Structure 1
């Protein structure tokens, strides 16, 4: 298959409408229809069920949509990395570091300061992103290196170095009865009346069902907790961000969170290697 054919098919499969897909691709509808039919003949399988009113995916079409998206993402990542490698060869490329906004803030600041002091340091562009996004940025080539947090982020397919391990704490409004305790259990926190746990969006952008507020970033979450609308269990390192209207109580049975620095295993960037070495020294 050609990447052009995959792009055509993915557009139709996502829009489920040939007219809208053609408009999205900037081509006429007849050549788009011919390209999809040719692709189906080549595969020997129907990818779409067409009626006069609807277009739906067959089982084979669903598989190709999933695999086609991954293939196109890989092509785009290869293009980005090739361009960055070309820039690096001329000495004009920096390093793009992805990190979750509000997480490991103290560690990130120390890392950037320590690396900037190195004699061969290059510019580090920091991408602060939402929950789970830094892994995707690293996989698709928009970032060269990332700070990930196990067990929440997947590090499969990356080279990694562990930087620190934190216990977790319950973040509660200041003055809540539990803030007078030296520690709590997870079951006590998750069952607090009137203080539901937040709901974070999944990788598809949708929220799970539940009573808790929908949140996208840590500043929003901390304000909701201060207002008495939610509680949360977060890594102990978040204490540095808490104001006087919030309190943290250790959660004894919460899993530990390990912060790692991750990069693609095929990276040959000296700048990435230097940044990783600085991080491990810290």
Structure 2
């Protein structure tokens, strides 16, 4: 099986229509159909069920779609990382670090400052991304490492090191009656009349609810200031609060753990140096708490 065959199959499996898949691939439909039939013969399984109602995946097809996407992502990631390592456009070694916009600011600044002092340190490009986008950037090779936050991000398939642990807060309009409270529970924040919880996308899909769909941190900040929504965020989000905001600790929200994550198969010496620096910063951060 080669990447061309996988691309063909994934296109058909996602479109569930040979005509649309052929148009997406920029090819005629007959050779696409022949390629899929040849793939089925070679594998010895039926991947698609074809009838007058359309095309459906078999159980084998569902497995190949899942594995095929991962294989194509890995191939694209390998090409991107090889190009960066080869320095085609820039002779200096370069690493791309994906970070959620407005997240982990203090930790990120300490990490960048410490790593820049390491002899032979690579150039770090900070790739600011939207909510929970770090995983995709890391999987498809657009990033070499990422600051990820559990329980919001999935670390499946990555190596990782824990860096910090923090609680969560509710950010409300400063003029709201609840802003005077010393603490709140998640249930209290989730059921504020006229102040629905903000909704973030997960894998491009927003959960149902009355709250506004949030696209970036600036939009969220303004909607809270206007009294249109409330948000539950890690405590470090205090760094971007406006005067019109109030931050109230949540007593029962799960702890948020920030990790530095990277592909499990990585053999990059520059990346190893960045990970080592990150874990050293973690030690410095923990010492005052231990004393």
TM > 0.5: yes
Alpha-carbon spacing, 1:176–1:258, altered in 2? closer, same or farther (3 Å): same
User: Runs of 5+ in structure 1 lacking a partner?
Assistant: none
Paired residue secondary structure (1:107): helix
CA RMSD of aligned residues (A): 2.1
Give the aligned partner of residue 103 of structure 1: 103
CA contact (8 A) 2:5 2:36 kept: yes
In structure 2, the residue matched to 1:243 is 242
For residue 126 of structure 2, give the secondary structure of its aligned residue in structure 1.
strand
Distance 2:37 2:273 in 1: 50
Number of matched pairs: 280
What aligned pairs does 1:186-225 form with structure 2 within 5 A after superposition? Answer: 186-203=186-203, 205-225=204-224
- Residue 14 of structure 1 aligns to a residue whose secondary structure is helix
| Structure 2 gap segments, 5+ residues each | 282-291
Q: CA deviation at 1:113?
A: 2.7
Distance 1:27 1:157 in 2: 34
Find the aligned partners of 2:151 and 2:259 in 1 and give their Cα distance: 11
Corresponding residue for residue 252 of structure 1: 251
- 1:9–1:266 distance in 2 versus 1, CA, 3 Å: closer
Question: Counterpart of 1:208 in 2: which secondary structure?
Answer: coil
Deviations 1:132-157 (A, max 9, x none): 21122222222111101122112233
Distance 2:273 2:68 in 1: 35
| Per-residue deviation, residues 52-107 of structure 1 (Å, max 9, x unmatched) | 5733333332332222212211222223333334449x953301000111211222
Q: Kindly indicate whether residue 57 of structure 2 is the aligned counterpart of residue 57 of structure 1.
A: yes
Q: Using the alignment, how far apart are the partners of 2:137 and 2:280 within structure 1?
A: 25
- Per the TM alignment, residue 168 of structure 1 is displaced from its structure 2 partner at its CA by 0.8
What is the SS of the residue equivalent to 2:157?
coil
Cα displacement (A) at 1:51:
4.1
Aligned residue in 1 for 2:287: none
Bigger mean CA offset, 37-46 vs 178-187:
37-46
> Does structure 2 conserve the Cα–Cα contact (< 8 Å) formed by 1:102 and 1:219?
no
Q: CA deviation at 1:31?
A: 1.2
Q: Distance in 1 between matches of 2:171 and 2:2?
A: 51
Task: Give SS of 1:247's match.
Answer: strand
Cα distance in 2, alignment partners of residues 195 and 214 from structure 1: 14
| CA distance 1:145–1:43, shift in 2 (3 Å) | same
User: 2:263 matched to which residue of 1?
Assistant: 264
1:3 aligns with: 3
Query: Which portions of structure 1, spanning 4 or more consecutive aligned residues, are displaced by more than 6 angstroms?
Result: none
**In structure 2, C-alpha distance between the alignment counterparts of 1:210 and 1:120, rounded to whole Å:** 50
Cα distance change of structure 1 residues 226 and 156 upon mapping to structure 2, 3 Å threshold: same
Contact 2:11 2:25 in 1 (8 A): yes
Structure 1 contact 102–217 (Cα < 8 Å) conserved:
no
- 1:75 maps to 75
The corresponding residue for 2:127 is: 127
1:144 paired residue number? 144
Q: Does 1:226 align with 2:225?
A: yes
Query: 1:42 deviation in Å?
Result: 2.5
